[in-house]
Each structure stands twice: as structure tokens, then as C-alpha cells.
Structure 1
């Protein structure tokens, strides 16, 4: 149990905030949150489309297709827009927003930023709070934190809203700039802005990513003291912090406190509580129960999927190899796409138990997956996490298996 706790904590410290490791970010998408209004900064799993293959959904001659056919980031989306207009075509801010959203999902951030710059430079376009937030996020991705800070500070006071503040907070958290994130949070409070769960979710994720999980509970207390309604992802993160120390009693206390709380769609909330109860009962869980529950929840999203990762971690700590096999088999039978985090979790669990045949099998499954690209950096973090807690032999055995599968960590 102690080894599992140490591995889990080490993986948190090595977490890179990419959304593909053992602990992804979780942010609100409930109807009351700013994320749901903008749908901009907090895409958990961007769709990676190779530039040389993407045409944005067709080979037509609309503006979107022209921009997606640029392929190389150094080619100018601005020139494509100007040519489109010079040919007598009209363009609206809604058109630009839709194209920008698809560019961001395809990780074409430089071209998306050019669209943002076009909107900023043309006064006939009235920018929304979401437009400013998008620009802050894109500036961070393309030019770095300093550029995002300068843009934020240049905004007029009425544009420094909860959304623009939260976008900058997200940038700080993504870069693990704890002091700057904390200072910005204090500014948000001093500005008397209406805070939502997403603000606290960002802070909680930041503390987890830098290994300061002990601060998560204080963030939750702050949220409560300011009468901010938590959402399902707040619960996710709160439980995540407890999972780092396998503190089952605290998870039970959280569940008791939150079980009567309605956050987001009641069906989704009830389902999540149900999954956490399974997590808590893992010591007595039998294979058939795991199968039936996983099979009955085929519609579960990746944001709720974290509970199964905890279930895997707990069963590895308890030494329940047969149950671990059954959980993994059941997860692979559902219609949910596996992501890097899922593979990292099961690989770590099998390594903990010394089940190297299973580790080799999972590596092969991941490496040949048609839907999830093998992520060498994730495996590198697993190796480092095992080395960090003194499990050198297992770390080296894992590295050998990766080499045999031609998947060596960098």
C-alpha cells in the first residue's frame, strides 16, 4: 500500500499538464460555468490532425478550407483572409470564431492566433469576454506567458472579467507558476469578480501537478467560505488529492458531504457518486461486479473515467491481480476511447505487481492502437516515478520492455 501511495504521488509530481498523463485536468462544463459559455480554453482532449492531411472538413473553396490547406504554420492565415475579402466575399465574427475553434481543436494555434489578431485589429468586430480569453490562451501557446500577461494588462478594466482572469490563471497553472497563480487569484478576489468552481478547479489542479496535494483541501475550504457551488470536477480533483495518499476515510467523508449536492446534471452526478462508492468498496469487489458496472456505464466520459483509474490503483495496492485483469478487460470492451492516462495507470499497476508479461501486452496494445498514439514521454514519467521511490529494478525492467517494443523513453 505504501509503495502504491509513493508511486501515485511521484506520478503527480511528474505530471506535465498535457492531459495525457495519470492525472488529467478537470474543469467545469456545467451550464452555469464560464467554460460552457465560451467552450474555449479548456479543451481536455484536442483532436490532433496532421496538417498535411487536414482540409478542415472538405476540399471546398470556402475560407475555412483555404486556411486549413495552409498546412505549415509559417504560411499566413491573415493573407488568406485578405484574399478572401478582396475577392468580394464577406466574413463575420461568427465565421472567424467557428474556424478558430476548429483550428484550436486541431492544435493549429498559430493560425488561430492570426484569426484572433484579425478580430482585434478590425474595430467593426465587437469582441466578447470569450474572445479575450481565447486570445490569452493562444498567446500563451504561441509566444509564452509574457505575451499573454502583456495582453491581459493592456485590456481596459471592463474587459478584465472572470473569463479573461481565468484564462490567465489557466496559463499560469499550465506552466506551474504557483506564485503568479496565487497572486492573480488574490487580484480576482480584490476585484470582486463573481468566482465559479472553475477558478478553484484550476488552483486545485495546479497544486496537484506540482505535488502540493496537501493544499487542495484548503482550496476547497476557500470555495465553501465564498459560497461557490462546487461541480463534479471539483469533486474529482478533491478525491484525486486524497487518492495520492490512498486516504480512504477522507474520501468517504467527501462522499458523505457531497452525496446530497446537485452539481450539473443529476444523472451524471449520481453516476459519479456510484462510481466512487465502487472505488471505496474495492477491497471487497468481485470480478463480476466490476464487469457489470463498467459494462453498464458505456456512456461515461473521460472526465468521469478517472474513477476507474483509482480503482486500478487500489487493486494494485491490494494485490488483486485477477480483479485488475478484469477491470482492464472490461474497460477495453466499452465504447470509450482509451487515452494515454488510462494506459499509464494500468502499466504502473502491473509494474507494481511485477506482472511483466501483462506490461508487455499493454505496451503492445497501446503501440498498435488505431485511436491513441503511443506517448513516449508518458512512459518516461513512469520510469522516473518508479526510480524516484526506489523501485530501480522495476523501472529498468520497464525500460527493457519498452526497448524490445521499440518504444524507448527519451
Structure 2
């Protein structure tokens, strides 16, 4: 029965599925209503869920005898990627390919990029080499160029020269990758050359290429000249808001906050008021310039224009208020989020926890931690925030209590605490000759399966320093491990 349902569904994983809702174009701009339930199921999979959970969810969908559309699944992939769920996106593409979905060169380019992000550059290279020649198009070459630009600049330039010898005509994406590469390698003058080459070859320029051009102009000619450059640009094309925010950011960095404010006004005049990311930029940059009144005004406008504020919006606003030290407003915004949030985002309570701890409001911070743990929402950052804060204030017992809760707070697979943090604890207990504290800490490490030789040695030294002879179970375990390692084979 399952095999029959799967076979029928595979026939529907195609560019134009029969008898099911489908996107009229290769990649539609919106998620079709009939496919929203599946997307929600995939996007709500917890980050700590094991590999294979995406495939299992899709198989369940098939068992429910619901159709699948290749176009819509690829839309899911891009959506997941936009929200940095790269592993989930790659799992979805693996599932599609394993079931014979018809992937085009652009889809292979997307998959190559995901492989590089999830599994590294070497895996991406192997995937590219395994592709049939018919799929080694400008799109897949451009994707590989992007991977090299991120990790190996020299190989990126070598690949570009190879593409030229193969008469692969560069497209906008290739030129954008080149510009990013030149910026990364400190060659801003070559960005202008690349831009001029694009125009000479009739290749379409876009907002990103103009952004890179502005970036290079700032580096080569300074802020005043860049301001004049944007004024001249306004006469020929509609200037994207991001060019103004880039200039405003540079003004902030040199302390010219008045000029930053004027530039942000220009950005607000030309931006799409329905674009959430634009509002977030304004909030962050006004906060960096120390302008609390503008932060509050922009927040009010954002909520008025977009009606519903996302978790990301609350995170940006709370971070802006924290930077400006408006604690009362932070509490108001956080309480509003608690009442209106549709999905829990631990990054938001983490901002409040930092603010509480900075003001020695430990009870309030701990209350948030306990509530989050009870609901299973904590993450590694929550753990780091508390341990670092308690150690800085010499509250070792409180920090140790956080360690005991580490298993409840961190759900990331194969997670291990940072070595430097472990060393700080070991050093403290050893210098204090605190055997009980050291034993308790090592027990936590053992529970997390990261009790290593350094920790065992520190435990032994602490016993010797304290003159203790009665060994705990942890110490006995250490002696047994050492005897096994030194026992003749």
C-alpha cells in the first residue's frame, strides 16, 4: 500500500503535476495556500531533530495520499535556506533527487551551495565533479565560484579564468561573486573595473552590484565623496535604500551621527515600507547613533505599517534598546512579545536575561531561565550567558548550578562546552583546593560525555593539594581509565 502511494506521488513530483495545485511559473513568488501545511510541518522541525526527519515528514505526507509538487518543494528549499535552515533544505533536496525529481541546472547550483554550507568545500567540489556535463552550466560554475570565494580566494580566481577560457559568458551572479571576492581580498579598485565590464558586456546590474560599488567608493574615496556619488546616482536611477544605510553605518563608525541621521532619512524616503529588513536596518543604525527618539519612532512606524511584528523585529528592537540602556522600554516590549508571540524564539529572552544580569537582577534572569527550561526552549547561548556572568562575579556555585542544568538547557546534538570555559572552572577549583566543587564539576562533565584527561588530571591535583585520600566515584573512574591506558597489551 505504501509502495503504491509512493509511486503515485513520485509521478506528481514533477514540474507540472496533474490533479494537484501547482505554481504556474518555474519558481513562483508566493507559497500556494494548499502547500502551507506541509511547509509549516517542515519549518517547525526542531533544530536538534536528527537527520532524516525531513524525509520522514515527507513520507508521512505521502502516506496521507497528498500530492507533491516539485516547484513547491523547491520553494520550500529556498524558504528554509533564507531562514538559515541549511541542513533541512539540503535534506529536502536529497529526498527529491533520491525519488527521481527533475532538477534543472539552477537547482543543482542551489544544492551545491547547500552542500558547501553544511558539509564543507571539499564535499561541494566532489558534487560538482559528479554532475553530468549537461548540468555544468554558468549557474553551477557560478555556485562553485561562490563557494571558492567564501573559502579559497585563489581557487576562485583560477576558476574564473577557466570559465573565461571555456567561453562561459559571465552572468550577473558571476560578477557579483567576483565583486565580493575583491572586497574580501582588499582589492576595491577591481570592483569598479568589474562593474564597468558588466556594463560594457550588457550584463544586468542590480541593487547588490550598486551596493558593492558604493562599498568600494567608501574605501577608495571617503564618505564625503561617496555622498556626492549617491547624489549623482539619484539623477540616473532610483537609489536603493541599502546604499544610504551603508553610508550611514560608515558615518556612525566615525562618530558623525548627525550626517548618519540625515542619510537614514533618505533611506526611509525611498524604501519599500512593507520591507521588514529595511525597518530593522533603521532601528539598528539609529541605535548605533544613540538616537533613542528615532528608534521609538521607527518602531511605532514598523508596527503600524506591518501590523504584525515578527520575532526578528522584536529581537532587533530589544537589542537596540539594550544598546541605548532604556531598560524600562525593554521590559514593556518584552512583555508585549510574551503576550503576542506565535512561536517561541529563545534569542529574545536571552536579550532580556543579559539585561537583567547586567543590572544584578538575578532573580528575574533565573525566572526566565527556569521558565524556558520547563518549556524546553533554552539553547547554548542561554548557558553561556549565565556561566560567564556568574564567573565574572565570582559566583562559582551559581555557575556550577547552571552546569548541572546543561543537559536540560542545551538540546544541540553532540554539544560540548567550550574548552576555555571548562579550563576556567578547573583552574578555579584547583586553586581553591575545592575538592567537593571539583568533583561536582567533573560529574557534570562526565554526564555530558566530555570528561577528558585534562579534567581528570586537575581532579587528581586537587586531591593532592587538599590532602584528601578518600576518592570519589569520579576519581576512581579516572584511575581505572588511566590503568587501562597504561596496562600492557
- Using the size of structure 2 for normalisation, the TM-score is 0.47
Candidates 153, 177, 182, aligned match of 1:202: 177
Counting only pairs closer than 5 Å after superposition, residues 340-355 of structure 1 correspond to structure 2 as none
**8 Å contact kept, 1:78–1:114:** yes
**8 Å contact kept, 1:109–1:138:** yes
The 10-residue stretch of structure 1 (280-289 or 208-217) with the greater mean CA deviation from structure 2: 280-289
Residue deviations 1:298-317, cap 9 Å, x none? 6355776899799879xx9x
Candidates 171, 188, 191, aligned match of 1:216: 191
CA separation in 1, counterparts of 2:182 and 2:328? Answer: 33
**8 Å contact kept, 2:283–2:295:** no
Residue deviations 1:225-276, cap 9 Å, x none? 43323222211121122334661464257447644544xxx5xx37678889
State whether structure 2 residue 91 is matched by structure 1 residue 91: no
State whether structure 2 residue 165 is matched by structure 1 residue 190: yes
The 10-residue stretch of structure 1 (86-95 or 146-155) with the greater mean CA deviation from structure 2: 86-95
Partner of 1:24: none
CA separation in 2, counterparts of 1:224 and 1:194? Answer: 14
Partner of 2:85: 108
Q: The residue matched to 2:144 in structure 1 has which SS? A: helix
**8 Å contact kept, 2:153–2:181:** yes
Counting only pairs closer than 5 Å after superposition, residues 133-148 of structure 1 correspond to structure 2 as 133-148=109-124
CA separation in 2, counterparts of 1:101 and 1:114? Answer: 12
> What number of residue pairs does the alignment pair up?
310
Displacement after TM superposition at 1:212 (Å): 4.2
Residue deviations 1:380-406, cap 9 Å, x none? xxxxxxxxxxxxxxxxxxxxxxx8899
Residue ranges of structure 2 left out of the alignment (5+ in a row): 1-24, 30-34, 304-311, 338-344, 352-387, 394-420, 422-489
CA separation in 1, counterparts of 2:42 and 2:280? Answer: 39
CA separation in 2, counterparts of 1:404 and 1:71? Answer: 26
CA separation in 2, counterparts of 1:312 and 1:304? Answer: 12
Residue ranges of structure 1 left out of the alignment (5+ in a row): 1-35, 41-56, 348-357, 377-402
Partner of 2:213: 238
In our comparison, the structure showing a higher alpha carbon Rg is 2
Displacement after TM superposition at 1:128 (Å): 1.7
Displacement after TM superposition at 1:135 (Å): 0.7
Q: CA RMSD in A?
A: 5.4
State whether structure 2 residue 90 is matched by structure 1 residue 126: no
Using CA pairs under 8 Å that are at least 6 residues apart, name the structure with larger relative contact order, 1 or 2.
1
Q: The residue matched to 1:335 in structure 2 has which SS? A: helix
Displacement after TM superposition at 1:290 (Å): 6.8
Partner of 1:361: 325
Counting only pairs closer than 5 Å after superposition, residues 4-403 of structure 1 correspond to structure 2 as 65=41, 68-69=44-45, 72-76=48-52, 77-85=54-62, 88-123=65-100, 125-175=101-151, 177-244=152-219, 247-248=222-223, 250-251=225-226, 254-255=229-230, 258-259=233-234, 261-262=236-237, 266=238, 269=239, 293=266, 296=269, 299=272, 301=275, 331-335=298-302, 361=325, 373=347
Partner of 1:385: none
**8 Å contact kept, 1:291–1:330:** no
Displacement after TM superposition at 1:221 (Å): 3.6
The 10-residue stretch of structure 1 (358-367 or 250-259) with the greater mean CA deviation from structure 2: 358-367
Residue deviations 1:44-86, cap 9 Å, x none? xxxxxxxxxxxxx98x6x5862784476442413344345445
